[in-house]
Every structure is written in structure tokens, then in C-alpha cells.
């Protein structure tokens, strides 16, 4: 019994790609992809509906290109990054939680090796399905050729060309892709697993410490304002016992300021301190300079 070119295509047999029905379906998919890629104002669900995939929003980034669209099955939680091309003349299954980097190409389409049979656009072509398991991760610019089956939990290195099927739980890389590491029983190093948490915690700790320092500096500026008022009142006085008593009250302020910003000792008994009658103006200028430099 005769079958349509579309039925031959879906079975992986030789078929004529310029069949009118197949041409109209590719045109419909091209329009849907164009709408998806350009309609940036649409919601994720609306953009998913453009490709007739309403159950799997919003994990595809434009631009996205496909031949027919209806032969693609995306598992829940999967993610397709920018500039992905899927030639889905035969079924393409992408498993749950599988992640695609940018520039991924999935090709189920193929052509006869014989030039006489291939005959340019007049001859037939064929294809073979591609299956990609759950929990895989494909680096950028990976190419997967017709008939490949990729197992669960596979990591494919960036730029790899996957020409043959890959067993579960391994790392493949290169052209053609080869197994470079087995992942059965693999446990992520604790340091790597905790690195992000440590960085985040340090960031929060730094922000909190800065906030505390700002509050302490604000309080110190308030104390310094009071000291400056007292200095103005006592300006021009000789170093009497009353002034010595006042110095003892100011010293804790300068000590706290030193602890806050980590500066050198501001006590009035420095080796190059001014004469006794100039102690108060000198202390006022020194404290004010330290505050300005720490702001």
C-alpha cells in the first residue's frame, strides 16, 4: 500500500522532502519560530504556545530553529539556551532537567552517500531519531548527529561532535566525542558544592560589617561635634588642671575612633606634639582630618 512522504519520513525511510505537505509544514514551523524569536513582549507561556509546547514553558531562549517542531519532545525542567537548531525530520526526545548551552545543533536529517541517489534537491533524503536522557548537560556548540542515543546524566564538553551513542553517567568530549570520565558513584567535591554558599555568606558578612562601621562612625561624629564645641569654648586657655581633666574625657573618644578606622595613635603626647597652649587646636584639627579621610 502506498504511504505518504510524511509517513516515510517519520519511519526513517527515504522520502522526498519537497513534498507539498512537508513544505507547508516547514513553512508553518518557520513562522512559529520567527514569532517566538521576535515576540519578546509575550509572556513565557504565550511564547511556548507559539511552538505548540504549552506544557514546557519558559525554558527556551531565542533564537530557536526547527524543521517541523511537532517531532520535538522536551522533558520537564529542561533548558535550551540561545541559538539552538533542531532538524526534527525524525523524533527528538530531550529528557527531564537536561541543560543545553548556547549554539547546540541536533540533526536527525541525513542524505544518501551516493551522489547519484542523492541527486541534489531532486533525490530523496532520510533521517534517524535522536534520544537524549534525563539530567544531561551539553556545553556550548555541541553537535549531535542522526541516530544517537545519549544516556542519563551525561556531560558533553563544549564543541563536541557526538557521532555515536553514549552510555549513562559519563563525560564525553572531542571530535568525534569520546568518553573521558565515568560518573558512576561520582560525588561532587564538598569544597565545590559549598563554594557558592561561602561566597554568599562572606558577602552578607561584609555588608553587615560595613553597616556597623558606618553606624559607629556616625556616633563618633556626634561625639566629635560635642568635643569641638567644648574646644571652641576653651580656645585660647592655658593648660590648666581643668583642661587636663577635659583631655582625659576626650582621650576615650580618640581611642574609640582609632579602633573603628584603624589609624595611628591620636593621643596628645605624640613626639611632635605642639606646645601646651596649642594642644586643643591641634587635637581638633587632627580628629577632623581623620574623620574626613575615613569618609
What does the block give as the cell for 18? 519537497
Q: Are 142 and 104 in contact (CB under 8 A)?
A: yes
Distance CA 78, CA 273 (A): 72
Distance CA 245, CA 236 (A): 16
User: Residue 131 pairs with which residues in a beta bridge?
Assistant: 93, 149
User: Residue 122 pairs with which residues in a beta bridge?
Assistant: none
Q: Examine the residue annotation and report whether 268 is marked as an active-site residue of this protein.
A: no
Distance CA 77, CA 251 (A): 64
Of the candidates 55, 56, 59, 111, the residue annotated as catalytic is 111
Phi, psi of 9 (to 5 degrees): -60, -45
Distance CA 86, CA 30 (A): 12
Provide the annotated active-site residues.
111
Amino acid at each position: 500500500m502506498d504511504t505518504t512522504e510524511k509517513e516515510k519520513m517519520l519511519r526513517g525511510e527515504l522520502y522526498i522532502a519537497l513534498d507539498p505537505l512537508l513544505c507547508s509544514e516547514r513553512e508553518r514551523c518557520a513562522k512559529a519560530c520567527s514569532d517566538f524569536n521576535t515576540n519578546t513582549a509575550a509572556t513565557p507561556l504565550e511564547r511556548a504556545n507559539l511552538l505548540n509546547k504549552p506544557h514546557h514553558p519558559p525554558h527556551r531562549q531565542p533564537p530557536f530553529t526547527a524543521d517541523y517542531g511537532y517531532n520535538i519532545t522536551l522533558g520537564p525542567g529542561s533548558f535550551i539556551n540561545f541559538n539552538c537548531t533542531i532538524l526534527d525530520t525524525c523524533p527528538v526526545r530531550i529528557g527531564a532537567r537536561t541543560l543545553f548551552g548556547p549554539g547546540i545543533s541536533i540533526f536527525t536529517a541525513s542524505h544518501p552517500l551516493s551522489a547519484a541517489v542523492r541527486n541534489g534537491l531532486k533525490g530523496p533524503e532520510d533521517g534517524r531519531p535522536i534520544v537524549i536522557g534525563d539530567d544531561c548537560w551539553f556545553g556550548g556548540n555541541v553537535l549531535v548527529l542522526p541516530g544517537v542515543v545519549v544516556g542519563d546524566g551525561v556531560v558533553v564538553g563544549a564543541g563536541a561532535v557526538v557521532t555515536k551513542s553514549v552510555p549513562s553517567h559519563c563525560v564525553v568530549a572531542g571530535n568525534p566525542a569520546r568518553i573521558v570520565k565515568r560518573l558512576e558513584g561520582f560525588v561532587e567535591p564538598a569544597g565545590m558544592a559549598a563554594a557558592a554558599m561561602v561566597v554568599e555568606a562572606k558577602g552578607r558578612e561584609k555588608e553587615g560589617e560595613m553597616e556597623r562601621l558606618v553606624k559607629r562612625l556616625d556616633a563618633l561624629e556626634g561625639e566629635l561635634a560635642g568635643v569641638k564645641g567644648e574646644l571652641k569654648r576653651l580656645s585660647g586657655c592655658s593648660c590648666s588642671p581643668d583642661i587636663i581633666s577635659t583631655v582625659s574625657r576626650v582621650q576615650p573618644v580618640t581611642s574609640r575612633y582609632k579602633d573603628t578606622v584603624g589609624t595611628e595613635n591620636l593621643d596628645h603626647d605624640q613626639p611632635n606634639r605642639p606646645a601646651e597652649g596649642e594642644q586643643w587646636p591641634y587635637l581638633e584639627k587632627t580628629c577632623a582630618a581623620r574623620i574626613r579621610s575615613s569618609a
